[in-house]
């Protein structure tokens, strides 16, 4: 038998006390783990779904003659004739420090043409990127794949009486309408989309671009960083963040994080008090026991060791149990909190050491004062209580 | 040279504004192997004297020398170690630890030593044999009778083979038949030449004593 065996027997044979001690710590660990896991999952789902909110950075050339309004946003003036952006700029953007945060880069070339007596704005796009950027698009027909296919916005289709699979002639190039965009309520309804390379060839603007849209997954780094990094590689361009696309969403996430932090603190203080009261009262009850240990020649440090071993063992147990309970609780509550429905639930095993350390921290800080007080108890006083 | 020497020892307690002198200027010498009985009315200072001898309670005045060592001049840790090596206590109310078994209770003083597990087991079994409790070694304390509990306490006091046994009314809570069993064990310890200080109200035990101490109001009075 060693000193710690005394502590273990005390935990084992005085079950009610032990269980109360563990429950005090367990509750706070569980709630902290739940809150951490829930906010992690919500943040992650925001990050994954961030591109669903469209572009959050727009790059336009600096010197311009015409105003263009795109996507309901004023983009400043865009030069149609003397485009200063080019395909080279796309490569430059891919050299910035936070390039991993750039989830979609969608270059565009705009050109007005006269079709059936009406001015129509043509947008040359990379369809692969554009479709990712505009997840809300509903296309009747096929999304255009071959270079001579076009996608027509609903208003334009109506105004020009263009139907699916019609052929449209632009600059003497025959193009097939492979898809018609359902009403989006945005500027896109008035556009005709075609492959950007086809547009560049057709309008003799090889490698020229009118603007570049970027969707950056930037939920934990400031979007300003990405903007300034991009500006420095493109000194002749305007790089404009579109904050309102993500800010309200981020605000919801951050306020949930603050709420979690608040609850965690309250739970920690509560369990600190539970453990403190528990250890303190059990030490008063154990006065006689401490007198016995002293009378058989235990040092103060031996007595402290017994009390601390008990608290540490209880804290470790509470930390482990609390971790798994917290993960399970998160799994239960997340579907009610997530607005996207939960595609996948993840939890982080780094939360386990956090849980255990937290439990130990609360356990030890709550018991250290009563424990030291107990170990210094005068044994003759201890025996007089009996 | 005596094993225990106490010189002009007093103990005062403050109770409210009043000062109670529990032990008043006592000097005493006890030789190795002596069997001493301490008698006196309730409140005469018997327990106080015993705890001062046992290094559990610092005298207000005077010195306690054991084996030529001024025990209250020792640093706290050394005093604890000294208690463990030299002294065994037996109390009226047994003072056993309820969540430990018989065997574990007896082993408590060994838990801080550096004997091996097997050595500890051997010593515990030999000691439990002395108090006739070998068969009950796995029992919890509350499954034992009062007499059995006191025998566990005696075994615990003996486990470190101490020079001195301090017993404060060990039979005070027991009926006369059980008391006799306990006193038989003390008789056996006397034969083993342990130095024993026994606080008792029972006059029968005086006849065995090498020295009888009578206390009254914290002072030694009469005796031999
Ligand atoms: N911790 C203490 N604080 C205050 N007074 C004390 C304390 N311990 C003992 N006393 C007082 O000192 C005196 C001697 O007490 P002590 O316990 O030594 O007597 P005793 O002879 O052992 O009595 P009993 O036979 O009842 O056990 C008593 O008056 C008691 O009230
Ligand atoms: Mg007494």
How many structural domains is chain A composed of?
A: 2
Give the integer Cα–Cα distance in Å for A363 and B137: 34
Provide the pLDDT for residue A370: 86
Q: What is the band of A76 on the pLDDT scale with cuts at 50, 70, 90? A: very low
Q: Report whether B88 contacts B195 (CB < 8 A).
A: no
Residue B77 C-alpha, separation from nearest chain A C-alpha, in angstroms: 6
Confidence bin at A77 (pLDDT 50/70/90)? very low
CB contact under 8 A, B107 and A383: no
pLDDT over threshold 70, residue A252: no
Same domain, A226 and A261: no
Q: Is the pLDDT of residue B147 over 70?
A: yes
Same-domain check for residues A194 and A160: yes
Q: Whose CA is nearest to atom 25 of ligand 1?
A: B42
**pLDDT tier, A75 (very low <50, low <70, confident <90, very high otherwise):** very low
For B55, which residue in chain A has the nearest alpha carbon?
A295
Measured CA to CA, the distance from residue A328 to residue A31 in angstroms comes to 11
Mutating which of A7, A15, A295 best tests the B interface, going by the most B Cβ atoms within 10 A?
A295
Is the distance from the beta carbon of residue B42 to the nearest atom of ligand 1 less than 6 Å?
Answer: yes
Lowest mean pLDDT among A50-64, A262-276, B78-92: A50-64
Burial profile B95-119: b = 16 or more Cβ within 10 angstroms, e = fewer: bbbebbbbbbbbbbbbbbeeeeeee
| A217 pLDDT above the threshold of 80 | no
A219 and A320: one domain? no
The answer to whether residue A199 scores a pLDDT higher than 90 is: yes
Kindly state whether residues A254 and A225 are assigned to the same domain: no
- Same structural domain, A83 and A230: yes
E strands within chain B?
Answer: 4-15, 18-30, 35-40, 61-66, 69-70, 87-90, 164-168, 195-199, 211-216, 219-220
Q: Whose CA is nearest to atom 13 of ligand 1?
A: B22
pLDDT of residue A73: 45
Coil vs helix vs strand at A354? helix
CB of B170 shorter than 6 A to ligand 1: no
Share of chain B above pLDDT 90, in %: 82
* Alpha carbon of A100: minimum distance to chain B alpha carbons (Å): 59
What distance in angstroms lies between residue B42's CA and the mean position of ligand 1's atoms?
8
User: What mean pLDDT do residues A177-185 have?
Assistant: 91
- Per residue in B151-167, pLDDT (tens digit) is 999 999 999 999 999 99
Chain-wide mean pLDDT for chain A?
84
**Residue of B83, B93, B110, B113 to mutate, testing the A interface (most A Cβ within 10 Å of its Cβ):** B83
Closest listed residue to residue B97, CA positions, set A288, A281, A382: A288
Rounded to the nearest 5°, which phi and psi values hold at A360?
Answer: -60, -45
* One domain, residues A33 and A61: no
- Residue with CA closest to ligand 1 atom 17: B47
Determine the Cα–Cα distance for residues A226 and A230; give it in Å rounded to an integer: 6
Give the residue from chain A lying closest to B95, CA to CA: A292
Residue pLDDT, tens place only, B105-116: 999 999 998 899
> How confident is the model at residue A81, as a pLDDT?
47
Helix (H, G, I), strand (E, B) or coil at A142: coil
Could you tell me the residue range of the domain that residue A134 belongs to? 57-241
Both A22 and A95 in one domain: the answer is no
Q: How confident is the model at residue A72 (pLDDT cuts 50, 70, 90)?
A: very low
3-state secondary structure of B207: helix
Chain B: residue whose CA lies nearest to A290: B97
Judge whether residue B100 has pLDDT over 50: yes
* pLDDT reading at A172 higher than 50: yes
Q: Is B78 on the interface with A (CB under 8 A)?
A: no
Ligand 1 centroid – CA B46 distance (Å) = 8
For residues B111 and A298, what is the distance between their CA atoms, to the nearest angstrom?
9
Whether A130 and A31 share a structural domain: no
Measured CA to CA, the distance from residue A348 to residue A126 in angstroms comes to: 37
A272 and A234 part of one domain? no
Please, what are the domains in chain B?
32-59+74-223 (3.40.50.300)
In 10 A of CB B91, how many CB atoms? 25
Task: Determine the pLDDT at residue A134.
Answer: 86
Mean pLDDT of A252-263: 78
Assess whether the C-beta atom of B48 lies below 6 angstroms from ligand 1.
yes
Domain final residue pick, A206, A241, A276: A241
- Report yes or no: A285 at the B interface, CB cutoff 8 Å: no
Question: Do A137 and A208 reside in the same domain of the chain?
Answer: yes
Task: Out of A184, A211, A241, pick the residue that ends a domain.
Answer: A241
Same domain assignment for residues A377 and A307: yes
| Boundary-marking domain end, from A197, A224, A241 | A241
pLDDT for position B125: 95
Q: Is B44 in the pocket of ligand 1 (CB under 6 A)?
A: yes
Assess A286–B contact: CB distance below 8 Å, yes or no.
no
Q: Are A61 and A78 in contact (CB under 8 A)?
A: yes
Residue A181's SS3 state is strand
Contacts of the segment A326-329: beta carbons below 8 A, 24+ positions apart: A326/A29, A326/A30, A326/A31, A326/A32, A326/A33, A326/A34, A326/A36, A326/A37, A326/A351, A326/A355, A327/A33, A327/A37, A327/A351, A329/A30, A329/A33, A329/A34
Ligand 1 in reach of B137 Cβ (< 6 A): no
Local structure of residue A52 (DSSP, 8 states):
G
Residue A318 pLDDT > 60: yes
Question: For chain B, how are helix, strand and coil distributed in percent, rounded to 5?
Answer: 40, 30, 35
Residue B83 contacts A, CB cutoff 8 Å: yes
Prediction pTM value:
0.74
Please state which of the ranges A352-356, B28-32, B203-207 shows the lowest mean pLDDT: B203-207
B115 vs B208, higher pLDDT? B115
Considering chain A, what percentage of its residues have pLDDT values greater than 90? 35
Separation in Å, CA B1 to CA A178, A203, A282: 117, 120, 46
**CA dist A106 to A59, A83, A234, B13, B119, Å?**
10, 16, 16, 89, 80
What residue of A is the nearest CA neighbor of B81?
Answer: A297
B20 Cβ inside 6 Å of ligand 1: yes
- Tell which atom from ligand 1 comes closest to the C-alpha of B201: 25
**Lowest-confidence pick of A22-36, A76-90, A140-154, A179-193:** A76-90
Give distance in angstroms: CA of B44 to centre of ligand 1: 7
Q: Does the distance separating the beta carbons of B104 and A299 come in below 8 Å?
A: no
- pLDDT band for B101, please (50, 70, 90 cuts): very high
Residues A164, A140 share a domain: yes
């Amino acid at each position: 038998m060693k000193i710690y065996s005394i502590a273990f027997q005390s935990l084992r044979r005085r079950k009610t006390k032990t269980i109360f001690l563990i429950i005090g710590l367990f509750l706070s660990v569980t709630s902290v783990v739940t809150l951490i896991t829930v906010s992690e999952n919500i943040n992650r789902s925001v990050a994954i779904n961030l591109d669903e909110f469209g572009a959050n950075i727009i790059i336009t050339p600096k010197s311009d003659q015409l105003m263009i309004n795109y996507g309901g946003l004023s983009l400043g003036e865009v030069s149609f004739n003397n485009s200063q952006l080019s395909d080279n700029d796309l490569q430059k953007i891919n050299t910035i420090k936070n390039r991993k945060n750039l989830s979609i880069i969608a270059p565009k070339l705009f050109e007005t043409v006269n079709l059936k007596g009406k001015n129509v704005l043509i947008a040359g796009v990379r369809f692969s990127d554009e479709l990712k950027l505009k997840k809300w698009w509903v296309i009747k027909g096929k999304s255009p794949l071959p270079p001579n296919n076009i996608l027509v916005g609903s208003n334009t289709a109506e105004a020009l009486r263009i139907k699916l699979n019609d052929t449209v002639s632009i600059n003497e190039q025959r193009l097939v309408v492979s898809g018609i965009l359902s009403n989006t309520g945005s500027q896109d309804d008035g556009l005709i989309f075609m492959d950007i390379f086809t547009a560049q060839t057709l309008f003799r603007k090889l490698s020229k671009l009118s603007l570049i849209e970027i969707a950056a997954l930037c939920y934990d780094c400031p979007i300003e960083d990405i903007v300034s990094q991009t500006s420095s590689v493109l000194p002749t361009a305007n790089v404009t963040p579109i904050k309102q696309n993500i800010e309200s969403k981020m605000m919801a996430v951050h306020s949930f994080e603050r709420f979690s932090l608040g609850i965690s603190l309250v739970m920690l203080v509560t369990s600190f008090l539970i453990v403190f009261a528990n250890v303190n009262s059990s030490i008063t009850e154990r006065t006689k026991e401490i007198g016995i240990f002293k009378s058989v020649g235990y040092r103060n440090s031996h007595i402290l060791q017994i009390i601390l071993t008990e608290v540490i063992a209880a804290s470790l147990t509470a930390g482990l149990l609390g971790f798994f309970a917290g993960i399970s609780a998160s799994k239960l509550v997340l579907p009610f909190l997530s607005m996207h429905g939960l595609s996948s639930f993840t939890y982080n095993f780094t939360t386990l050491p956090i849980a255990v350390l937290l439990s130990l921290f609360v356990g030890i800080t709550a018991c250290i004062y009563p424990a030291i007080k107990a170990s210094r108890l005068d044994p003759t006083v201890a025996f007089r209580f009996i | 040279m005596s094993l225990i020497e106490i010189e002009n020892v007093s103990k005062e307690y403050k109770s409210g504004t009043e000062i109670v002198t529990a032990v008043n200027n006592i000097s005493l010498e006890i030789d190795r192997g002596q069997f001493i009985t301490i008698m006196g009315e309730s409140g005469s200072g018997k327990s106080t004297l015993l705890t001062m001898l046992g290094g559990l309670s610092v005298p207000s005045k005077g010195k306690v020398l054991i084996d030529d060592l001024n025990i209250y001049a020792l640093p706290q840790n050394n005093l604890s170690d000294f208690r463990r090596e030299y002294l065994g206590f037996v109390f009226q109310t047994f003072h056993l630890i309820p969540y430990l078994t018989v065997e574990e209770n007896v082993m408590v003083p060994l838990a801080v030593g550096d004997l091996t597990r097997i050595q500890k087991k051997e010593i515990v079994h030999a000691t439990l044999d002395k108090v006739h409790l070998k068969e009950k070694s796995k029992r919890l304390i509350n499954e034992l009778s009062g007499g059995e509990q006191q025998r566990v306490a005696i075994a615990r006091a003996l486990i470190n083979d101490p020079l001195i046994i301090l017993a404060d009314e060990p039979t005070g809570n027991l009926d006369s038949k059980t008391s006799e069993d306990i006193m038989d064990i003390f008789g056996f310890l006397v034969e083993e030449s342990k130095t024993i200080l026994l606080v008792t109200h029972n006059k029968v035990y005086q006849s065995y004593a090498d020295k009888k101490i009578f206390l009254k109001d914290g002072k030694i009075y009469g005796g031999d």
